[in-house]
């Protein structure tokens, strides 16, 4: 069995669906069901005998520890996190609790379990911690992409909380010998993402006839990774990743916000045109920039390419069209 925290969220639910299609091994979903979680994401597998769900806050170390000893997992993949930068600016406390204290509790529970399992079980046990490119801070357009040795320079409460959790994971490996691996990924997109994030928000607002708000001048750049590609990378890390290492995961698809929103509008114009036949582009509205808005994130993914043989498969345009069609069917 493997454990997944945050499995009712965007990336976690996509991972569970992919895992159950990929492996016969059972999976336990540990999720507190906060506002962005949705068990409907997993309706297709809720009756699968390999799938179990436990509503638990990852800060509840004793309950998490009990789950370890009851289920005896060989690995845990820690997706659970508060992740919306805007919300972290408005109320950072929830991010400190979930991302730092939650990871601290998970590490302690995992370590207490790891200490008493057999040598053979220890050899295969893994704690996979899923993090973000935002910990490396903002890049200029001409800067080289961040690699696994780049310095951490988090600028938002969200990225600072994730940076702290990454450091805890590293410390539990080096100090206590817990077999951890950390991944840092770029912006994910795809089905089942809560509609506060850029791509699903633009799709939802567009079809509802609402404004499409773009921060500042719309020139901020992110790399975009289709969520299924991210999930396949995590499986590769679980199977082949080296303990104590960090792996960057990206989509090789750097786009600025203007390009993203324009492409969404053009696809919608083609597959779900407005009644008045004018373009969805007319709904774009530029709004005051976000406080401390980082200009660019970019990851060098050559390490995972070379060492684990993982590459993103989905092109951005194809992935975006799939995503838009999913939301049109599910909004």
Q: What is the CATH number of domain 2-188+227-251+298-313?
A: 3.40.50.720
Q: Where are the domains of the chain?
A: 2-188+227-251+298-313
Contact present, 184 and 132 (Cβ < 8 Å): yes
Q: Which is catalytic among the residues 31, 65, 82, 134?
A: 134
Nearest to 266 by CA among 222, 192, 202: 202
How many other C-beta atoms lie within 10 A of the C-beta of residue 56? Answer: 18
**Is pLDDT above 90 for 86?**
no
Place of tokens 């053979």: 120
Please provide the average confidence, as pLDDT, over all residues in the chain: 96
pLDDT at position 228: 98
Q: Which residues of 227-264 are buried (b: 16+ CB within 10 A; e: fewer)?
A: bbbbbbbbbbbbeebeeebbbbbbbbbbbbbeebbbbb
Active-site residue, 86 included: no
pLDDT at position 85: 87
pLDDT digit string (tens) for 26-52?
999 999 999 889 999 999 999 999 999
Burial tier of 191 (Cβ tally within 10 Å: 0-12, 13-18, 19+) = buried
Contact present, 99 and 164 (Cβ < 8 Å): yes
Q: Return the DSSP state at 148.
A: T
The tokens describing 8, both together, are 């009712």
- The three-state secondary structure class of 78 is strand
pTM of the prediction? 0.96
Task: Locate all alpha helices (DSSP H) within the chain, ordered by sequence.
Answer: 10-22, 61-71, 85-90, 93-95, 102-114, 119-124, 157-176, 198-207, 227-240, 257-271, 302-308, 316-330
Nearest to 72 by CA among 31, 131, 122: 122
pLDDT at position 309: 98
Q: Which is catalytic among the residues 113, 114, 158, 327?
A: 158
Q: Which is catalytic among the residues 65, 82, 133, 294?
A: 133
Q: Residue 331: pLDDT band by 50, 70, 90 thresholds?
A: confident
**Is pLDDT above 90 for 87?**
no
pLDDT at position 83: 83
**Is pLDDT above 90 for 181?**
yes
Q: What whole-number distance in Å separates Cα of residue 142 and Cα of residue 135? A: 19
Active-site residue, 158 included: yes
Active-site residue, 65 included: no
Q: What whole-number distance in Å separates Cα of residue 222 and Cα of residue 130? A: 18
pLDDT at position 238: 98
The stretch 169-197 carries a mean pLDDT of 97
Q: Residue 221: pLDDT band by 50, 70, 90 thresholds?
A: very high
The tokens describing 311, both together, are 């590459």
Beta bridge partners of 180: 127
Separation of first and last alpha carbons in the chain:
33
pLDDT digit string (tens) for 279-310?
999 999 999 998 889 999 999 999 999 999 99
pLDDT digit string (tens) for 115-144?
999 999 999 999 999 999 999 999 999 999
């Amino acid at each position: 069995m493997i454990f997944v925290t945050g499995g009712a969220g965007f990336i976690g639910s996509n991972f569970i669906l992919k895992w159950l299609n990929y492996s016969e091994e059972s999976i336990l979903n540990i999720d507190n069901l906060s506002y962005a979680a949705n068990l409907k994401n997993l309706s297709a597998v809720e009756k699968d005998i390999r799938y179990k769900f436990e509503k638990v806050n990852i800060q509840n170390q004793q309950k998490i520890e009990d789950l370890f000893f009851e289920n005896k997992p060989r690995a845990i993949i820690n997706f659970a996190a508060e992740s919306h930068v805007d919300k972290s600016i408005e109320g950072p406390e929830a991010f400190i609790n979930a991302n730092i204290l939650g990871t601290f509790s998970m590490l302690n529970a995992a370590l207490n379990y790891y200490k008493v399992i057999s040598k053979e079980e220890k050899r295969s046990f893994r704690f996979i911690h899923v993090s973000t490119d935002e910990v490396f801070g903002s890049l200029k357009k001409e800067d080289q992409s961040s690699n696994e040795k780049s310095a951490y320079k988090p600028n938002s409460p969200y990225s600072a909380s994730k940076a702290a959790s990454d450091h805890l994971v590293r410390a539990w490996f080096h100090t206590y010998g817990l077999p951890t691996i950390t991944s840092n990924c770029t912006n994910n997109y795809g089905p089942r993402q809560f509609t506060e994030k850029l791509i699903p928000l633009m799709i939802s607002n567009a079809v509802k006839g609402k404004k499409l708000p773009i921060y500042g001048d719309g020139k901020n750049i992110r790399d975009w990774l289709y969520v299924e590609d991210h999930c396949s990378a995590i499986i590769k890390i679980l199977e082949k990743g080296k303990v104590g290492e960090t792996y960057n995961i990206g989509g090789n698809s750097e786009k600025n916000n203007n390009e993203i929103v324009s492409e969404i509008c053009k696809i919608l114009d083609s597959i779900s045109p407005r009644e008045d036949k004018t373009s969805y582009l007319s709904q774009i509205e530029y709004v005051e920039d976000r406080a401390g808005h980082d200009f660019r994130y970019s990851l060098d993914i050559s390490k995972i390419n070379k060492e684990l043989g993982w590459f993103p498969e989905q092109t951005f345009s194809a992935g975006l069209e799939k995503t838009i069609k999913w939301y049109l069917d599910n909004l």
